[in-house]
Chain A
Amino acid sequence: MSNPASAGDSAARLRDPDTEGEYRFSYRALAPDPGPPAAIRAVDNPNDEGGKIVVSWEKAPGDNGIFDAVRGYLVRRSEYSDSGFYEITRLPMGSGAFSDASLKNGKSYYYRVGSIYPGDTLFATETAEAIPEPQLFHAKRLVVLISMLLFTGAAVFLITHARKGGDLYVRPIAGISAVDEAIGRATEMGRPILFVPGLGEASRVATIAAFTILGRVARKVAEYQTRIIVPNYDPVVMTICQEVVKEAYAAAGHPDAFDTKDVYFITQDQFPFTASVNGTMLREKPATNFYMGMFYAESLILAETGFASGSIQIAGTDQLIQIPFFVAACDYTLMGEELYAASAYLSHEPQQLGTLKVQDWGKVVSIALMLIGSTLYLFSDRAASMLTEWLIGG
C-alpha cells in the first residue's frame, strides 16, 4: 500500500504532501501505486465528415473519485509511430476519452496518453494509431431513413388511391367551412378582406400552410371581384404572397385586377407591424380578417382590434400559447394541425388529401411509440433511453 508519509511515521500520523508540516489523515494514503492509463485505443470518429479521431483509455490506478491521486491526463500526438510526439491537450481526472478534430483525412496519427501525478507523469508504453475518414452514410440515422421511405411510400399509395376516386374522409372543421361564407360576407358588404400570414419565416410549416390557404382565399376573392389586403412581416413571405395572389387572380381570369400595393411589406419589428395592421383595420374596416400562421404576443392585440372594427375573424396558428387568445377573441379558430389540414380540406385535391391521411397514420405510430416508451420508462430507464437513441439516430 502506498504511503506518502515520510519513512518512520506510524500509520496514524500521515503527512499530507499538499500541506507541509501538518498531520492529518488522507485517503491518498490508501491509494494504489501510481501507474499509466491502460488499453489506449484510437478510432476514426464514426458518422462524420472526417478529420476527427476519438482516443480512449482505461483510467489510471487511483482515479476513481475516492483517492484523488491522479491529477489528470496528458495526450500526445505524432504523425510518426516512434518519434515526434507533442502535447495536444491536458484533461482533468476522471476523463476516459478525447476527440481530436481538425485532422487530415487519410493520414495516420499516433497517440500516447499519460497519467499526471504530483511530481511525475507516467505514460503507457502502447501507442494507438488511427486514420480519420469521412463516411458516406450516417449509420445511426438508418431508422430515420427507413421511416421516411415508409412514410413516402404510404403517401404515394394514398395519393394514388385518392386519384382513382377513393374516398378519404376529413372531419368537418367549423373554421374552414366558414371561409367561403366569410368571403361572401365581405363581397356583399363591399368591404375588403384582410389576410395576415403571421410573423413566421417562409420556411416554417405554419407559414407554408398560410400560403396554401391564401391561394384558396385569393382565388375566391378574385372570382367575387373583392379586394384583399395582405400586410407582411417578412420580405421573403411578402414575395411569395405576391406570387400566390397574382397567380390566383390569373387563374380566376382577372389578372389585371391584382394590385401589388395590396400585398406589401411593413416591418420586421413585432409591435410596429402590429400597430400598422391595427391602423389598416381601423381605417379600411375589412369585413373579414384571416390570421393564419405564426403569431406571438401581438395575437390578442390584432384580434381585439379586429373585433372592435366589426370584422368576422378566422384565425389559425400552431403556437400553443396564442391559441387561447384567438379562441377568446375570434369567431373561428383553427388549432395546430387543423391549420395544416385546412388547405387539403378546402381544395379536396388528391395530393393534399393523401398527404393529410398519411400524416394521421404517422400520428398513430408516434402515439404508439410514446406509449411504448412511457411504459418502458416505468420498468427500465436504460431500455427507454436506448429506444429513444435508436429512434432519434444521433
Chain B
Amino acid sequence: MRREVPLTIVFVCGAFMAFQYFVPHYVSAAVYQYALNWTIIIGIFTLAVGIGSLIHVHYDRISRRKSTWLYSIVTLAGLSFMAVLGILSPNALTDSQGLFMKMYFYVLSPVQATMFALLAFFIASAAYRAFRAKTVLATLLLLSAVIVMLGRVPIGDMISGWLPEGLRISDVARYILDYPNTAAKRAR
C-alpha cells in the first residue's frame, strides 16, 4: 500500500499531462494550469523541508561539537540573519540601499565571483593533467587545444602574422571551433 498509493498518484498525474497535450479544451487547460500552480506551492513547502534539514544537520554538528561545529554556527547565523532581515524589511528586495541588498551586493556576490574565479586555476590544473600526448587521438586533442588557446588571444596572431591570411593561428582556431567542434556538438 505504501508503494501503490504514490505510484497510482504518479501514474494518474503523468497520464493526465500526456492527455492534456492533445486536448486543447478549456477544461483541460484549466486543470493543467491548476496542476502547475500546485507544483509551485508544493515546491515552496519543500523549501521549508529543505531548510529544516539544513538546520537539523548543523544543529547536530554543534550539539555534538564535531570538528567543524564553528562553521555550522556561521551557517545558521547567516541563514537566520538574512531571513529575519528579509522578513522585517518591507522593501528588502527593492531597496538597493537597504541592509539586505547591501549584504547581497557586498558579501554574497563577491563570494560567488570568487568561487567562479577559481575555475581559471582548476582549468589550468585539469588541462595540465589531461592534455598528454600518449596516443594519436590524445596528441590531436593537445594540438587542437594549443591552437584554440593561442588563437583566442592576441599573441597567436603575433606569432603567426607572417603566414598568409587563412592560415594564421586565429583562422585555424576559428575553423576548428566552427566546423569539427560544432559538428561534434550537434552529433551529440
**A-B pairs with lowest CB-CB distance, top 4:** A235-B50, A265-B50, A328-B130, A271-B115
What mask results when residues 45 to 72 of chain B are scored 1 for a CB within 8 Å of chain A, else 0?
0111111011011001000000110010
Measured in the bound complex, the distance between the Cα atoms of B28 and A136 in whole Å is 9
Measured in the bound complex, the distance between the Cα atoms of B128 and A307 in whole Å is 13
The verdict on A349 contacting chain B, using a C-beta distance below 8 Å, is no
Q: Which of B95-103, B117-125, B151-159, B167-175 contacts A (4 or more CB under 8 A)?
A: B117-125
The verdict on A41 contacting chain B, using a C-beta distance below 8 Å, is no
What mask results when residues 312 to 335 of chain A are scored 1 for a CB within 8 Å of chain B, else 0?
000000001001010111000001
Determine if A274 and B115 form an interchain contact, defined as CB atoms under 8 angstroms apart.
Answer: yes
Determine if A304 and B18 form an interchain contact, defined as CB atoms under 8 angstroms apart.
Answer: no
Residues of A whose CB lies within 8 Å of any CB of B are 47-51, 105, 134-138, 141, 144-145, 148, 232, 234-236, 238-239, 260-261, 264-272, 274-275, 279, 283, 297-298, 300-301, 303-304, 307, 320, 323, 325, 327-329, 335-336
The verdict on B106 contacting chain A, using a C-beta distance below 8 Å, is no
Shortest distance between the CB of A126 and any CB in chain B (Å): 30
Determine if B67 and A239 form an interchain contact, defined as CB atoms under 8 angstroms apart.
Answer: no
Determine if B24 and A238 form an interchain contact, defined as CB atoms under 8 angstroms apart.
Answer: no
Q: Contact partner of B24 among A49, A234, A274, CB < 8 A? A: A49
Chain B residues lying within 8 Å of A283, measured Cβ to Cβ, are 67-68
Measured in the bound complex, the distance between the Cα atoms of B56 and A264 in whole Å is 9
Nearest residue (CB) in A for B28 is A49
Q: List 26 A-B contacts (CB under 8 A).
A: A47-B24, A49-B26, A134-B24, A135-B25, A137-B22, A144-B21, A148-B18, A239-B46, A260-B53, A261-B56, A261-B57, A264-B53, A268-B47, A269-B112, A271-B116, A272-B108, A272-B115, A275-B115, A279-B68, A279-B71, A300-B119, A300-B123, A301-B118, A303-B126, A304-B126, A329-B129
Measured in the bound complex, the distance between the Cα atoms of B64 and A320 in whole Å is 43
The verdict on B111 contacting chain A, using a C-beta distance below 8 Å, is yes
Determine if B26 and A336 form an interchain contact, defined as CB atoms under 8 angstroms apart.
Answer: no
Not counting A51-B26, A265-B50, A268-B47, a sample of 18 additional A-B residue pairs whose C-beta atoms are within 8 angstroms of each other reads A49-B24, A136-B25, A137-B23, A138-B22, A138-B23, A141-B21, A235-B48, A235-B51, A236-B42, A261-B60, A269-B112, A283-B67, A298-B115, A300-B123, A304-B122, A327-B130, A328-B130, A335-B188
How would you classify the secondary structure of chain B's contact residues: helix, strand, loop or mixed?
Answer: helix
Measured in the bound complex, the distance between the Cα atoms of B25 and A265 in whole Å is 40
Determine if B43 and A236 form an interchain contact, defined as CB atoms under 8 angstroms apart.
Answer: yes
Measured in the bound complex, the distance between the Cα atoms of B92 and A214 in whole Å is 39
Chain A residues lying within 8 Å of B77, measured Cβ to Cβ, are none
Measured in the bound complex, the distance between the Cα atoms of B110 and A383 in whole Å is 53
Chain A residues lying within 8 Å of B28, measured Cβ to Cβ, are 49
Chain B residues lying within 8 Å of A275, measured Cβ to Cβ, are 111, 115
Nearest residue (CB) in B for A308 is B125
Contact-residue bracket for chain B: 35 or more
Q: Contact partner of A297 among B25, B56, B119, CB < 8 A? A: B119
Measured in the bound complex, the distance between the Cα atoms of B24 and A141 in whole Å is 11
Are A320 and B185 also in contact (CB < 8 A) when A238-B49, A297-B116, A301-B118 are?
A: yes
Chain A residues lying within 8 Å of B122, measured Cβ to Cβ, are 300-301, 304
Chain A residues lying within 8 Å of B73, measured Cβ to Cβ, are none
Measured in the bound complex, the distance between the Cα atoms of B107 and A272 in whole Å is 12
Chain A residues lying within 8 Å of B48, measured Cβ to Cβ, are 235
Measured in the bound complex, the distance between the Cα atoms of B65 and A243 in whole Å is 28
Chain A residues lying within 8 Å of B67, measured Cβ to Cβ, are 283
Chain A residues lying within 8 Å of B35, measured Cβ to Cβ, are none
Measured in the bound complex, the distance between the Cα atoms of B21 and A144 in whole Å is 10
Measured in the bound complex, the distance between the Cα atoms of B128 and A328 in whole Å is 10
Shortest distance between the CB of B81 and any CB in chain A (Å): 15
Measured in the bound complex, the distance between the Cα atoms of B28 and A137 in whole Å is 11
Determine if A264 and B57 form an interchain contact, defined as CB atoms under 8 angstroms apart.
Answer: yes
Determine if B24 and A239 form an interchain contact, defined as CB atoms under 8 angstroms apart.
Answer: no
Q: Contact partner of A236 among B29, B46, B129, CB < 8 A? A: B46
The verdict on B143 contacting chain A, using a C-beta distance below 8 Å, is no
Chain B residues lying within 8 Å of A135, measured Cβ to Cβ, are 24-25
Q: Contact partner of B53 among A137, A238, A272, CB < 8 A? A: A238
The verdict on B149 contacting chain A, using a C-beta distance below 8 Å, is no
Chain B residues lying within 8 Å of A234, measured Cβ to Cβ, are 50
Measured in the bound complex, the distance between the Cα atoms of B108 and A244 in whole Å is 33
Measured in the bound complex, the distance between the Cα atoms of B74 and A275 in whole Å is 14
Measured in the bound complex, the distance between the Cα atoms of B154 and A261 in whole Å is 52
Determine if B60 and A271 form an interchain contact, defined as CB atoms under 8 angstroms apart.
Answer: no
Chain A residues lying within 8 Å of B21, measured Cβ to Cβ, are 138, 141, 144
Nearest residue (CB) in B for A240 is B46
Measured in the bound complex, the distance between the Cα atoms of B118 and A301 in whole Å is 8
Measured in the bound complex, the distance between the Cα atoms of B122 and A135 in whole Å is 56
Are A232 and B50 also in contact (CB < 8 A) when A134-B25, A138-B23 are?
A: yes
Shortest distance between the CB of B58 and any CB in chain A (Å): 9
Measured in the bound complex, the distance between the Cα atoms of B18 and A24 in whole Å is 63
Shortest distance between the CB of B33 and any CB in chain A (Å): 10
The verdict on B140 contacting chain A, using a C-beta distance below 8 Å, is no
Shortest distance between the CB of A375 and any CB in chain B (Å): 17
Are A235 and B56 also in contact (CB < 8 A) when A272-B111, A300-B126, A336-B188 are?
A: no
Are A134 and B26 also in contact (CB < 8 A) when A304-B122, A335-B188 are?
A: yes
Determine if B57 and A49 form an interchain contact, defined as CB atoms under 8 angstroms apart.
Answer: no
Determine if B22 and A141 form an interchain contact, defined as CB atoms under 8 angstroms apart.
Answer: yes
